[in-house]
Structure 1
Amino acid sequence: MNPVPTIALAGVHGYGHSYLARLRPRIAAGTFRWAGVADPRLGVGALPEGLPADVPRYGDLADLLAEQRPDVVAIATPLHTHADLAERALRSGADVVLEKPAVTGLGEFAHLLDLAQAEGRSVQVGFQSLGSAALDHVRTRVAEGRIGEVTGFSAAGCWVRARSYFTRAPWAGRRRLGERVVADGVLTNPLAHAVATALAVAGRQSLEDVLAVEVDPFRVNDIETDDTTSVVVSLRDSPDLVLAATLAAAEPGEPFVVVEGTRGRMTLYYTLDVVVEELPGRPPATTQHPRVDLLDDLLRHRLDGRPLRSPLASAGAFTRVLDAIVNGPRPRVVRPDAFRVVELPDGDERRELPGVEEAVHEALRRRSTFSGCGVDWT
């Protein structure tokens, strides 16, 4: 192993920009050295911002790995390409940072897990929220009995997405693309962190921890997959987890995870690393927590073997939920008179579902799906 590990990045456009931004200071500090980047669009137009001109560039990861032997490969490509590219990287002898969702089905998950073990390599899944000390804080306080006996876990997100979001790529808004599962639904991609973070807070992250999944999907936008969905997840030796999310809110809100107890509740705003603890007779206590970047976490793991914050094995429960959504009922189409079209200044537009925020909170309150709460959008 080189004293300064080399890193390759697959995917420099789209979300790959965030990896370029995160790698820039680490390259400058000598934490990593570039092995190269791979992206089929690198030969079209100007180089992406943050990519030095002297970094070796390739049209695909196979070409890069034929010439380079990176210690680490970061993969920030479309969802349905993750498993194949991760397999190539693992077989080349690299550790992998794999953007979320790591895979789009249980078969891919089992295959990659077995391959990583056989190759003796590590896979860190890009659920950045799992690098937050806020999770440790919540789990510790809950274990100490601060909110009494836990009665339920939940997570929610109300976001806004315009038409251009769903037309940004051929795979956007798709369940499948040809024979490949894409899984670009509200809880499996844009708000996947809500699911993964809630499962981590509950301490139920393995495949075996998910006993059953009830899925209630809708679509407001003209897409194949779901954009407004509620899910009830039955967990092993634990209260249920209720999830509710939409991409058709009136205004974007901070997604959150809640732990309910007999004596209070704790709310984690995972994008902010903020925890609010509420106990009867006391004002809410708000705490802010640091976060470790998962790239740095992988480096520490390589140096001293400490456990990864977001290893592939811990994405098992999330993958079982994803698999249930993808292979569950097709999203029901929201009738046209139930939503409104909002024109945007740049010629874009978005669809807004009035009352969806209230429906999300009612699902959490009643610990049920939208349909179980009597919602009628179709």
Structure 2
Amino acid sequence: MTTPGVAVVGVHGHGASHVRNVARLAETGRARLVAVADPRPAENLPDDVQVFAGLEELLKATEIDVVIISTPIQTHLPLAELAMRAGVDVLLEKPPTASLAEFEALSAVISETGRACQVGFQAQASKATLTLASMVADGRFGEIRGISAVGKWVRKAQYFQRARWAGRRTLDGIAVVDGAVTNPLAHSTAAALLLDGSQGLDDVRSVETELYRANPIESDDTSTVRLVTGRGTPILIAVTLCASEHLEPRVIVHGSEGRAVLRYASDTLEFDDGTVRKFERDDLLENLLDHRADPAVPLSVPLSATGGFTKVVEAVRVAEDPARIPAECVRWEGDGLERHPIVLDVEKWIDRASDELALFSELGAPWTQQEKTIDAEPRL
């Protein structure tokens, strides 16, 4: 069989890791890196890799089997549709779309073309996530009181200046829906939904959002979101990009007969008895290639398995603009591109939200006690 040809669209930032991964698979003969596309110059590519400014030119000039799309959120739908209508399978970075309407449009394209579309939620392919999901389904933790997703990250000014769309809810009239919940810490929500077996579009019954920002941006950087699944499970997401230190995200199962913590970034599970288990994870591109060779091999993250997550994206999209966290609740550190806010005691409030499955306002977090301010500050 001919070795599948792969192209990468968007080779800077996270896209660079995709280029490296295809190069790794090329060394074992599993794939060929045929071309890349990016409006900005690409560096450190093998001499035989063709370079294009955009996907349309790439598709006209090359023959490829798979394209990896690691581009701004608002470009995902048009680029994925372009590729699939050209007969190419797609590995699409998360979040797959910026709205429910776009999700439905992309689902229709997949149905019409019969192409495969894998979504880049790596945590879904972790044996740690899948093992814990199986344990929950088997009743190992008794009745599930709820699931919480906790993220305490630090993002500096350079993060929001890396691209025009960063930190934006819309750009040039098009939905972007960047933000702590929907982009950098999106894996937390998606993993929590998988643990509950509630990944589908119809598996999420309701979504409540409380979106705040300490940075001078449009999108949220400190938020709680609570959703209830069709199973009746409350899932509480408590995240910030304004922590005092950068910590690994956690997804916590709260059961009547025990508690478990998933640390998906390191593929580990922690249990009440102190046991810590480390797992492997499947590679999403390898899984897509296996699926192409044998359709009986299921995709790890088909688009349909991100419907529940898209319900959350849609709720964030239509929510009121994030409220500004009052200055007295924020301490700033660093200068220039290193400058970043720390929301005072945010870790304490996130932990309480996780334990009590409660929104910040229900707990009385200080930045929720004042009248919401949604003014337009200069951007970073």
- Alpha-carbon offset, residue 101 of structure 1: 0.5
- Alpha-carbon offset, residue 237 of structure 1: 1.8
Partner secondary structure for residue 341 of structure 2: strand
Please tell me the residue identity of whatever aligns with 1:39. D
Please tell me the residue identity of whatever aligns with 1:202. D
Alignment of 1:67-146 (within 5 A): 67-146=61-140
For the 8 Å contact 1:125–1:312, the answer to whether it is kept is yes
Partner secondary structure for residue 173 of structure 1: coil
Partner secondary structure for residue 188 of structure 2: helix
Measure, in 2, the Cα distance between the counterparts of 1:5 and 1:159: 37
Measure, in 2, the Cα distance between the counterparts of 1:67 and 1:251: 47
For the 8 Å contact 1:12–1:48, the answer to whether it is kept is no
Candidates 312, 323, 330, aligned match of 2:321: 330
Partner secondary structure for residue 260 of structure 1: strand
Matched, 1:191 2:174: no
Measure, in 1, the Cα distance between the counterparts of 2:363 and 2:95: 29
For the 8 Å contact 2:238–2:350, the answer to whether it is kept is yes
For the 8 Å contact 1:207–1:317, the answer to whether it is kept is yes
Aligned to 1:41: 40
For the 8 Å contact 1:343–1:349, the answer to whether it is kept is yes
Alignment of 1:226-237 (within 5 A): 226-237=220-231
Q: What does the per-residue CA deviation read over 1:209-243, in whole Å, with 9 as the maximum and x for residues that have no partner?
A: 11111000000000011000100101102311110
- Alpha-carbon offset, residue 146 of structure 1: 2.2
For the 8 Å contact 1:191–1:245, the answer to whether it is kept is yes
Partner secondary structure for residue 257 of structure 1: strand
Candidates 123, 146, 162, aligned match of 2:156: 162
For the 8 Å contact 1:131–1:291, the answer to whether it is kept is yes
Alignment of 1:1-378 (within 5 A): 3-42=2-41, 47-49=42-44, 51-278=45-272, 283-305=273-295, 306-344=297-335, 348-377=338-367, 378=370
- Alpha-carbon offset, residue 347 of structure 1: 5.7
Q: Which runs of 5+ in 2 are unaligned?
A: 371-380
TM-aligned CA distance change 1:347 to 1:238, over 3 Å = closer
- Alpha-carbon offset, residue 199 of structure 1: 0.6
Please tell me the residue identity of whatever aligns with 1:3. T
Aligned to 2:374: none
Measure, in 1, the Cα distance between the counterparts of 2:209 and 2:154: 21
- Alpha-carbon offset, residue 368 of structure 1: 1.2
Please tell me the residue identity of whatever aligns with 1:274. T
- Alpha-carbon offset, residue 372 of structure 1: 1.2
Partner secondary structure for residue 366 of structure 2: coil
For the 8 Å contact 2:157–2:337, the answer to whether it is kept is no
Measure, in 2, the Cα distance between the counterparts of 1:320 and 1:259: 21
- Alpha-carbon offset, residue 48 of structure 1: 2.1
Measure, in 1, the Cα distance between the counterparts of 2:325 and 2:217: 12
Identical pairs, percent: 40
Give the TM-score of the pair, scaled to structure 2.
Answer: 0.94
Please tell me the residue identity of whatever aligns with 1:8. A
Measure, in 2, the Cα distance between the counterparts of 1:348 and 1:36: 34
Q: What does the per-residue CA deviation read over 1:265-285, in whole Å, with 9 as the maximum and x for residues that have no partner?
A: 11100101000121xxxx321
Measure, in 2, the Cα distance between the counterparts of 1:347 and 1:15: 19
Q: What does the per-residue CA deviation read over 1:153-180, in whole Å, with 9 as the maximum and x for residues that have no partner?
A: 1111000011111111111100000121
For the 8 Å contact 2:353–2:360, the answer to whether it is kept is yes
Count, aligned residues: 367
Please tell me the residue identity of whatever aligns with 2:4. P
For the 8 Å contact 1:147–1:261, the answer to whether it is kept is yes
Runs of 4 or more above 6 Å deviation:
none
Please tell me the residue identity of whatever aligns with 2:49. V
- Alpha-carbon offset, residue 39 of structure 1: 0.6
Measure, in 2, the Cα distance between the counterparts of 1:201 and 1:227: 25
Q: Which runs of 5+ in 1 are unaligned?
A: none
Measure, in 1, the Cα distance between the counterparts of 2:228 and 2:29: 46
Measure, in 1, the Cα distance between the counterparts of 2:145 and 2:298: 29
- Alpha-carbon offset, residue 27 of structure 1: 1.4
Pairwise CA RMSD of aligned residues? 1.2
